[in-house]
Amino acid sequence: MGGTFDPIHHGHLVAAEEARYALSLEQVLFVPAGRPWQKERHVAPAEERYQMTVLATKDNPAFEVSRTEIDRDGPTYTVDTLRELHAATPGAELFFITGADAILEILSWKDPDEAMELATFVAVTRPGYPLGKLPSRQIVVLEIPALAISSTDIRARVAEGRPIRYLVPDAVAAHIRARDLYRA
């Protein structure tokens, strides 16, 4: 499961668990993006986003977190991650789960054809949200009601002093407070 996770929230966790169940996955590997090169806004430091992802996923034995993108130099490309995973787990069937809005942009990513050969892409979205035109190849779409929660809203809430309890795991809320993240 790829994402900036800035910060990770219950929508991501519900989506990961639903994908695990729907696609009979053995494991969901969360891969926080190191340097999301297409983003114009300021993104919290990779190490903070990694720590929050570890805190959020620690209670689920089927969830793991990878440092691969945050430890890799240069801009983050999904195809590099999929190449690495493919080499490290020969014979494993790979799925790349992320937000539908991100997948809509996939043709602008690095080596999209190779990326889609290495993994089945899974676009998670909230019910009723217009999907636009997905690239022609087969992409699995999963509707997740909890994706009404968004990282953008959580960052705005923190900046305005509004509550984020129940939107993110308690340990993530505590980390945001302790590290003074997202304060304007």
Residues of the shown chain interacting with ligand NAP in the complex, contacts defined by CB under 6 A: 1-4, 12, 15, 33, 36, 38, 76-79, 98-99, 101-102, 109-110, 124, 147, 150-152
Which lies closer to ligand NAP via its Cβ, residue 32 or residue 91? Answer: 32
> Least separation, in Å, of the C-beta of 86 and ligand NAP?
15
Which lies closer to ligand NAP via its Cβ, residue 109 or residue 179? Answer: 109
The separation between CA 182 and the C-alpha centre of its own chain, rounded to angstroms, equals 18
Please tell me whether the peptide bond between 7 and the residue prior to it is cis, using omega within 30 degrees of 0: yes
How far apart (Å, rounded) are the C-alpha atoms in residues 43 and 46?
A: 8
Which lies closer to ligand NAP via its Cβ, residue 43 or residue 171? Answer: 43
Phi, psi of 150 (to 5 degrees): -135, 150
Q: Which amino acid is at 37?
A: W
> Least separation, in Å, of the C-beta of 28 and ligand NAP?
10
CB contact set of 167 (below 8 Å; sequence gap of 6+)? 9, 10, 149, 153, 154, 157
Which lies closer to ligand NAP via its Cβ, residue 8 or residue 91? Answer: 8
> Least separation, in Å, of the C-beta of 88 and ligand NAP?
17
